[in-house]
Amino acid sequence: MRHVTHLTIGPVGFRIGSDWRAPIAQLEDLYRDYPKPGIPDFNVHLFAARPWRKILRPSVMIGGDYTIPDAAPLPLAQGLLAAEMGMNLQMALAQRRYLLLHASAVERDGKAVLMTGISGAGKSTLAALLMARGWRLMGDEFVLIDPATGLAHAFPRLISLKNQAIAVAQAAVPDGRFGPLLAGTPKGDIRHLVPDLRAIRKMAEPAEPALLLFPRFGFDAAERPVPPSEAFVRLTQSSTNYVHLAERGFDALTRLVQSVPARAIDYPDTDGGIALVEALA
């Protein structure tokens, strides 16, 4: 690969290679405060489907140690997104050390609040706004539960803001470092926000899960307790590696739902959501 960079997110190291300079330059800028791994856990590579497609209507194929067939290529202008998707793919397909939960998480006083839900539930936005209010951001996409300790490990990759959430976050974090606007991606407009320095410096510190939230955006404010069996089923659905961890995964998840209270929250707007989370935590 012509262009290569290394970066560490939480406890996971990546090597990223690219046929083009631009995605690597963007990663090196946005991830400039992150440590570099000695030997990475995963490799991602961005390559042209055919040699001439490096130049002619360049389109970026996502490769790596683990890939899915038929991953559609992205235009070169969205190379940064391709790299992020490549890293997410490695985690989703092959993370075997931690139970991977598709959730955002913030921490205060060593206690972690885990927020999980379907895409569009506002996980990333809530996490970004809570970060702006002084919480330590642990991650906007994945939380890693260590089966040996039950602790939550941070995975503070770039916060991925979509469509209306971009303006909301820009208003809440006016001095934040934002990546380029990626318009017209398969998921609409995307802009990345770099987690604050505190989130990056503390990313190796795990925290004890203290609250599990299942948020839903766009409904009248409401809140109800979630029984452990429901939390268990919903968390297995939001984990890509629960099955592959076998009995370690079962231990980690039963411990989590038995020891941590869970609540489903509906919120009409982000201000309402923040108020609900802070009232419960």
Partner 1 sequence: MTPGWRLAAVLRDPARTEHFSARQWTELFAVARAEQMAGTLAHRLNGLDLDPTVQRLVDDAIASAGHLRLAALWEAEMARRALAPLGVPVVLLKGTAFAAAGLSPSLGRNIGDLDILVPRERMDEVEAALLAAGWEWVKPDPYDDAYYRRWMHELPPLIHRERDRMIDVHHTILPLTARIRPDARALLADSEPLGNGLCTLSRTDRLVHAVAHLLADGDLAGGMRNLWDFHCLVQDEGTMGLAERARHHGLGAEMARAGRLSHALYGTEVPFEWQGLRLLDHLYLRRLTARDGWGRQGRRLTRLGFYVRSHWLRMPPLMLARHLWTKYRKGYRPVG
Partner 2 sequence: MTALYRAAAPETLRIVPLDALTLVYHRASGVTHVVDAPVPEMLEALDRDDLTVDQLLTRLSDSYDLLDADPAALAIRLDELVEAGLVERL
- State residue 259 phi and psi, 5-degree precision: -105, -15
Which of 9, 10, 31, 40 lies at the binding interface for partner 1 (CB under 8 A)? 40
Which of 38, 50, 57, 220 lies at the binding interface for partner 1 (CB under 8 A)? 38
- State residue 21 phi and psi, 5-degree precision: -80, -40
Could you give the CA distance from residue 114 to residue 231 in angstroms, rounded to a whole number?
12
Residues of this chain, 196-255, that bind partner 1 according to CB under 8 A: 244-246, 248
Taking CB within 5 to 8 Å according to partner kind, which of partner 2, partner 1, none is near residue 258? Answer: partner 2
Could you give the CA distance from residue 123 to residue 217 in angstroms, rounded to a whole number?
9
Residue range at the interface with partner 1 (CB under 8 A); choices 61-69, 127-135, 165-173, 269-277? 61-69
CB 36 within 8 A of CB 21: no
Give me the half-sphere count of Cα atoms (radius 13 Å) on the Cβ side of residue 51. 0
CB 256 within 8 A of CB 233: no
Which of 71, 151, 205, 250 lies at the binding interface for partner 2 (CB under 8 A)? 250
According to the binding rule CB under 8 A, does residue 37 interact with partner 1? yes
Residue 186 CB contacts under 8 Å (≥ 6 apart), including other chains: 72, 74
Closest contact distance (angstroms) between CB of 234 and partner 2 is 11
Residue range at the interface with partner 1 (CB under 8 A); choices 9-17, 185-193, 196-204, 227-235? 9-17
Q: Which is nearer to partner 2, 149 or 254 (CB)?
A: 254
Closest contact distance (angstroms) between CB of 7 and partner 1 is 14
Q: How far lies 247's CA from each of 96, 159, 237, in Å?
A: 12, 32, 17
Which of 120, 227, 269, 271 lies at the binding interface for partner 2 (CB under 8 A)? 227
Q: How far lies 115's CA from each of 79, 109, 122, 126, 174, in Å?
A: 28, 17, 9, 9, 24
Taking CB within 5 to 8 Å according to partner kind, which of partner 1, partner 2, none is near residue 39? Answer: partner 1
According to the binding rule CB under 8 A, does residue 39 interact with partner 1? yes
> Which positions touch partner 2 (CB under 8 A)?
227-229, 232-233, 236, 242-243, 246-247, 250, 254, 257-258
